[in-house]
Amino acid sequence: AHLRACPPGLDRAVIDETIAFLRWMEDDHFVFLGARDYDYPRGNDGDYAAEAPLGQSSDGLGVLRDPERRILRRASEPAVLTSQIKRQLDLSEPVTVAKANVRSRVHRRAYMDYVGVKRYGADGRPSGETRFVGLFTAEAYDRAASEVPLLRRKVANALDRAGKTPGSHNAKRLRNILENYPRDELFQITEDELLNTSLGILHLNDRPRIRLFTRQDPFDRFVSILCFIPRERFDAALRERIGRILAEAWGGRMSAWYPQLTDQPLVRVHYIIGVEPGAHPTPDDAALQAKVAEAGRSWIDRFETALRDADVQDVAVGPTSAKWAEAFGAGYR
């Protein structure tokens, strides 16, 4: 109800889309497992008080009936206005979608989805939020992104900002990339991140190679990595090898991986790396890209590189490789 009044300073179109999304959730697209209202603490100067306790209503529902239940932090940590949540308050979006850090015990065994809807004070600034936790239904994942409130806006804005000629080959390819984007990622990613990543994937199709696209969870609990691998290179051993490299680089653990194999020249593997908030390294992207690319190189690739390093002429590399590359046993390689 408070959103319908359109708090001062907010875009009416954004508010209408948010309301449409909440109604869409209610229409059998979300299994509600818990809800509770929280108030954001402020200091005497009116600014948000980082690390101060969140105010909580006394009538939580479902799994949030217990005021000690944590969904964005570990169970042993207090419910406070973390620096990560404080940063979210500066964003214009009235709703935040993320993964909770607890698994559901009903419907399906999976990490629950967190949907935070901001409440606004008389000054137009967020004064608190209503938190919902639950699971998006199978139908929510099956629907085209263009049919889902919030997602359709992200996709439309990405297409518009990309500047591709409507109806052109690249515009169609970009739309296909956006429609087939991992659904959980599409719910959680910002418009800027989606634009940059989708354009990167579009350009990658012109020159297929191993490539990473990384997004850090705004609450600093996990890292989401889309890894693209040429089909002829992909196998279970490489998938596991890359997963180990990513987990080690981020100082975390492999929480999940989801491969997608189609008739396209690239295989997509979505890796989820769990990390310790505020206590993990942030690897250099270029160095990590190079390390993963090296892990995906075959023996023949390395053999041909060695030939070039030995000043074998380019025209002779292919024939020499074809003649000798398979002559070396697995033990030598």
Residue 220: what pLDDT? 87
CA-based angle 37:40:104, to the nearest 5? Answer: 45
Q: Is 208 exposed, middle or buried (0-12, 13-18, 19+ CB in 10 A)?
A: middle
pTM passes above 0.85: no
| Cα 284 from Cα 250, distance rounded (Å) | 10
**The token pair that represents 71 in the structure block:** 């969904």
Per-residue pLDDT of the chain (333 residues; tens, 9 = 90+): 567 777 777 788 888 999 999 999 999 999 999 999 988 887 777 677 666 667 777 788 998 888 877 777 654 444 556 666 666 666 668 999 999 888 888 878 888 999 999 988 887 888 888 999 999 999 999 999 999 999 999 999 999 999 999 899 999 999 999 999 999 999 999 999 999 999 999 999 888 899 999 999 988 889 999 999 999 889 999 999 999 999 999 999 999 999 999 988 999 999 999 998 888 999 999 999 999 999 987 666 666 566 666 666 665 656 766 655 565 655 555
| Cα 148 from Cα 289, distance rounded (Å) | 33
Q: Which residues contact 154 (CB under 8 A, 6 or more apart)?
A: 145, 186, 189, 191, 194
CB 118 within 8 A of CB 125: no
DSSP 282: -
